[in-house]
């Protein structure tokens, strides 16, 4: 019995230390490779953006047609822009512009990821959009999964035409605490991404899309965030869908953006 208790204690300690030391490797999976969009058949320009703290970000840029919105796209914690090419192609076909970035530490973007760092990356994307001549009211802040934390922070601090979130969370702290319920995650977490504390500062129309079978960010966390959001707002439940359910409602999402922003 004593040996079993000692073994359990050692295992718990190993998990505790692993989460404490390796949490950013779990949260930020910097496995993206830089890809030329032309090789994927996407007419986009590869651009470089400078952040406030001196990092250099790689991104893809597609200008909008006259009178159409520009989507600032913030992807999830794994993979890179190449995995979202079908979304970008659909946006471009609808006449919408796209400025999508690789976060610091992803692909050839410099630096190492953190909550503060990713939010500075979002600021650089917004500044780049404004510098290109796009009016703030025609900017859509769109984030998927982890990227919803970047999109919400941006919309909370800047004028945008709309906020669109795919599989969002109330906070990373909530999601992590549910997954690692046996460890005091909230006390250990370095990057809590509290969307729940920022969403009330967003005054733009918002759309949230979430799958009812999402195993990564359970839908209850998206519903919790939606309850805190200001109107006008919409929440689309995609029955039976898993993570990143917006892909199943992409055409409807683009229609919503067109009606809301133009």
| pLDDT tens, position by position, 134-144 | 999 999 999 99
Share of the chain above pLDDT 70, in %: 92
Residue 19 above 90 pLDDT? no
Higher-pLDDT residue of 10, 188: 188
3-state secondary structure labels for all residues of the chain? CHHHHHHHHHHHHHHHHHHHHHHHHHHCCCCCCCCCHHHHCCCCEEEEEECCCCCEEEEEEECCCCCCCEEEEECCCCCCHHHHHHHHHHHHHCCCEEEEECCCCCCCCCCCCCHHHHHHHHHHHHHHHHHCCCCHHHEEEEEECCHHHHHHHHHHHCCCCEEEEECCCCCHHHHHHHHCCCCCHHHHCCCCCCHHHCHHHCCCCEEEEEECCCCCCCHHHHHHHHHHCCCCEEEEEECCCCCCHHHHHHHHHHHHHHHHCC
* Mean pLDDT computed over every residue of the chain: 93
Domains of the chain by start residue, with CATH: 2-260 (3.40.50.1820)
Per-residue pLDDT, 18: 55
């Amino acid at each position: 019995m004593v040996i079993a208790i000692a073994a359990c204690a050692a295992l718990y300690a190993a998990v505790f230390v692993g989460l404490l030391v390796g949490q950013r490797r779990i949260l930020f999976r910097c496995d993206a490779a830089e890809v030329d969009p032309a090789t994927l058949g996407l007419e986009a320009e590869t651009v470089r953006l400078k952040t406030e703290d001196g990092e250099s970000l790689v991104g893809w840029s597609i200008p909008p047609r006259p009178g159409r919105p520009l989507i600032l796209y913030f992807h999830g914690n794994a993979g890179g822009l190449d995995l979202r090419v079908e979304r970008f192609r659909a946006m471009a076909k609808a006449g919408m512009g796209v400025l999508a970035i690789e976060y610091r530490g992803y692909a050839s973007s410099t630096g190492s990821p953190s909550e503060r760092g990713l939010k500075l990356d979002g600021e650089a994307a917004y500044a780049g959009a404004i510098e290109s001549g796009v009016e703030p009211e025609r900017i859509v802040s769109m984030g998927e999964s982890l990227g919803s934390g970047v999109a919400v922070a941006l919309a909370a601090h800047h004028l945008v035409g709309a906020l669109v979130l795919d599989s969002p969370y109330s906070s990373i702290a909530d999601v992590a605490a549910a997954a690692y319920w046996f460890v005091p995650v909230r006390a250990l977490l370095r990057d809590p991404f509290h969307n729940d504390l920022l969403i009330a500062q967003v005054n733009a129309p918002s759309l949230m899309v979430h799958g009812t079978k999402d195993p990564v960010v359970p839908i209850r966390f998206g519903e919790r965030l939606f309850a805190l959001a200001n109107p006008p707002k919409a929440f689309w439940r995609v029955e039976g869908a898993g993570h990143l359910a917006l892909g199943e409602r992409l055409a409807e999402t683009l229609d919503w953006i067109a009606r809301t922003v133009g």
